[in-house]
Amino acid sequence: MNVISETLQSLKLSNCGTDTTFFQAVEEVLVSIEPLLSSYSKYQENAIVKRLVIPDRQIQFKVSWLDDKNDIQVNNGYRIQFNNALGPYKGGLRFHPSVNSGILKFLGFEQILKNALTGVAIGGGKGGSDFDPKGKSDKEVMKFCRAFMGELYKHIGATIDVPAGDIGVGGREIGYLYGAYKAYTSRYEGVLTGKPLFFGGSLMRTEATGYGVIYFASEMLKSENKSSLEHKICTVSGSGNVAIYTIEKLKQIGAVPVTCSDSTGFIYDKNGIDSELLKVLKFEKRVGLEEYTNIYPNAKFTSINEYEDGAHGVWSIPCFGAFPCATQNELTLKDATNLISNGVEIVTEGANMPTTQDATALFLKEGILFAPAKAANAGGVAVSGFEMSQNASMGKWTSLEVDLKLQETMREISQNIVKTANDFGDGRNYVMGANIAGFKKVADAMIAEGI
Ligand code: NDP
């Protein structure tokens, strides 16, 4: 049995039976780095695969807090410190009822390789809680954040572990978490990224993930000598941070993003989604997407209950480019089949692992340009790295400076992946290129640092 099947088998036998998304993420990486492992014996001699798939540390804790009625509420809190070979643990916090240790392990594992690709000196981690900010008052969110940080602060620090936002954690939550960290430690340091601008946040951090997705897609099209996204119909899922700024950048470059979605359904607006209205609905009013049609009566809202046959509404709309930006495993084999038969030419993952394994395999087999999340959405964490640099030097970069650095980072990631994929015999396989390039960087550091 070789090291890949041995590792997968042992994960299945241990706790991975319930950690299905973690197993999926590990399997996708291990299968695609096989050409590297068979070319260089040092990775097996140093047991890198076995060491990489086990987190350095998993912290789980109880979060008790008082709601507005003064009733006691209890949630689970987590931080997975996965690997710090390249720098302090770095990765977002997710607040969503679906959060459990398996989902956070998948996200933390992906984060290790993503962060390696950025070229910034950061390791990989992830955390969060099954707390649902939806329907809670600002005061309740603040009380929860304070209680959550009451344990987390013991494990993080500007050179130890630097969390950021993710699903359910935006500027409001990061602000409360930062205030709590300061209260518990008396330290004013860059311990969280995605902070509001007036106390240490970086310009362009909010936009970075979505803008980076489009910079990456544009680089891919360029390196394939294909026509650009200008005037092309694009479909986007999600209507949170990543989706909104993906849509905004698509419009800036002259593309026509015609969809967005949330947990209640999706909007099809053939004239192009209004990203400013989405900001109001999702960041200020925090309401469902159906309200979009109050302002644009010609746009069509389809409720999630009307989706047919396991297919997800957004992916039934014909498009040149598809951008899944909501959540994991939201684009299935059935959706991929729909997209391909409707002529899709490029699929770029904005969310983490939004495409199921069989759907990814189909895109690759059919020669569709496919950008995996760990490359395409790395712009967010790259700019988080820039925020850490600015905090450490007490400096402030302009929007233009950050944007230019972001564009350069996405270009370098793309070029590195294409070169790596070419070196291993398949220049169009961005999944293999990203996994090998990220793994190699982390593995070489682990070898150099010893055990
Ligand atoms: P947000 O919380 O801002 O938005 C998430 C969006 O996805 C919302 O529209 C939400 O709908 C929708 N959504 C979430 N879960 C589901 C579900 N099960 N079914 C349908 N829709 C769903 O999160 P982000 O935009 O920050 O994150 C989106 C994805 O991007 C995640 O995979 C995240 O890990 C990834 N990512 C985020 C980065 C960042 O910088 N924020 C960086 C890199 C990756 P609703 O409004 O109804 O809840």
Specify the CATH number for the domain of residue 353.
3.40.50.720
pLDDT by residue for the chain (451 residues), tens only, comes to 588 888 888 887 776 556 899 999 999 999 999 999 999 999 999 999 999 999 999 999 999 999 999 999 999 999 999 999 999 999 999 999 999 999 999 999 999 999 999 999 999 999 999 999 999 999 999 999 999 999 999 999 999 999 999 999 999 999 999 999 999 999 999 999 999 999 999 999 999 999 999 999 999 999 999 999 999 999 999 999 999 999 999 999 999 999 999 999 999 999 999 999 999 999 999 999 999 999 999 999 999 988 765 568 999 999 999 999 999 999 999 999 999 999 999 999 999 999 999 999 999 999 999 999 999 999 999 999 999 999 999 999 999 999 999 999 999 999 999 999 999 998 899 999 999 999 999 999 999 999 9
Residue nearest ligand 1's atom 17 by CA: 263
The residue out of 341, 371, 401 marking a domain boundary is 371
Answer yes or no: do 177 and 231 share one domain. no
Q: CA separation (Å) from 233 to 253, 257, 273, 434?
A: 12, 6, 11, 27
Query: Pairing relation of β-strands 300-303 and 321-323?
Result: unpaired
Residue at 199 is within a domain: no
Instruction: Give the position, in ligand 1's atom list, of the atom nearest the Cα of 384.
Output: 40
Q: Output the ligand 1 site: residues, CB below 6 A.
A: 165-168, 209, 238-243, 262-264, 325-327, 350-352, 377, 380
Q: What pLDDT was estimated at residue 16?
A: 52
Answer yes or no: do 159 and 289 share one domain. no
Query: Pairing relation of β-strands 89-95 and 124-129?
Result: parallel
Q: What pLDDT was estimated at residue 10?
A: 81
Contacts of residue 408, Cβ cutoff 8 Å, sequence gap at least 6: none
Give distance in angstroms: CA of 329 to centre of ligand 1: 12
Answer yes or no: do 231 and 362 share one domain. yes
For residue 134, give the CATH number of its domain: 3.40.50.10860
Compute and round to an integer the Cα radius of gyration of the chain: 21
Number of domains in the chain: 2
Q: Which of 263, 284, 329, 330 to mutate to test the pocket of ligand 1 (most atoms within 8 A of CB)?
A: 263
pTM (2 d.p.): 0.95
Residue 34's domain spans which residues?
A: 3-188
126 counts as catalytic: yes
Answer yes or no: do 125 and 247 share one domain. no
Answer yes or no: do 133 and 238 share one domain. no
Answer yes or no: do 21 and 155 share one domain. yes
Answer yes or no: do 160 and 308 share one domain. no
CA distance linking residue 377 with residue 379, whole number of Å: 5
Residue at 385 is within a domain: no
Instruction: Give the position, in ligand 1's atom list, of the atom nearest the Cα of 350.
Output: 30
Here the tokens at position 126 are: 């992830």
Answer yes or no: do 21 and 156 share one domain. yes
